[in-house]
Amino acid sequence: MNSKAIHDWLSGEGPYAAFWISAVVALVCLVGAVVGLIRWFWLLFGVAGILGSLHALHIARQRDIRRAYEAEADRLMDRVQKRLQSSHPDGRVTFDDYVKALKAEGVPGAERVAAQYPRPETKGR
């Protein structure tokens, strides 16, 4: 597997697959430990598997939440860009104009958002 394939797997469904695989292995270890088929230290492997699968699921959820926030920020920036294009057809938008457009969209902390996100004309779309 090349690095792009590994990156795609880890950024796609990989954490979910890791969760289910490690959850099944952990369940098998726990059941085996309970019925006495394997020694007690396998119980620790089962617990470690459960904790590892929960961590993988947490990482996947955080990634999905971050993607949702980024999508909402992109929609907001598109609305702001349309607002600025209609009021500044020549394209000369100042930082203050950008802050005013963000405030008009109802963004709390518009100055911070204006400083954090690039202005529409410099975003590189």
> What CA–CA distance (Å, rounded) separates 48 from 77?
43
Q: What percent of the chain has pLDDT over 90?
A: 0
Per-residue confidence (pLDDT) for residue 28, from 0 to 100: 81
Residue 124 forms part of a structural domain: no
H or E stretch at 38: none
> Once rounded to an integer, what is the mean pLDDT over residues 49-57?
81
* Residue 2 reports pLDDT greater than 80: no
Residue 37 forms part of a structural domain: yes
Residue 56 forms part of a structural domain: yes
H or E stretch at 117: none
> What CA–CA distance (Å, rounded) separates 111 from 109?
6
Q: Which two tokens stand for residue 37?
A: 């088929």
> Once rounded to an integer, what is the mean pLDDT over residues 41-49?
74
Closest residue by Cα to residue 50 from 32, 34, 26: 26
With cut-offs at 50, 70 and 90, classify the pLDDT of residue 119.
low
* Residue 123 reports pLDDT greater than 60: no
Residue 125 forms part of a structural domain: no
Q: How would DSSP label each residue in 75-108?
A: HHHHHHHHHHHHH-TT----HHHHHHHHHHTT-T
Per-residue confidence (pLDDT) for residue 8, from 0 to 100: 64
> Once rounded to an integer, what is the mean pLDDT over residues 45-67?
83
Closest residue by Cα to residue 120 from 86, 96, 93: 93
Residue 81 forms part of a structural domain: yes
> Once rounded to an integer, what is the mean pLDDT over residues 31-46?
71
Q: Tell me how many domains the chain contains.
A: 1
> Once rounded to an integer, what is the mean pLDDT over residues 40-46?
71
Residue 30 lies in domain: 3-119
Torsion of CA 54, 56, 58, 60, to 10 degrees: -150
For the ranges 11-15, 16-20, 32-36, 66-70, the maximum mean pLDDT occurs at 66-70
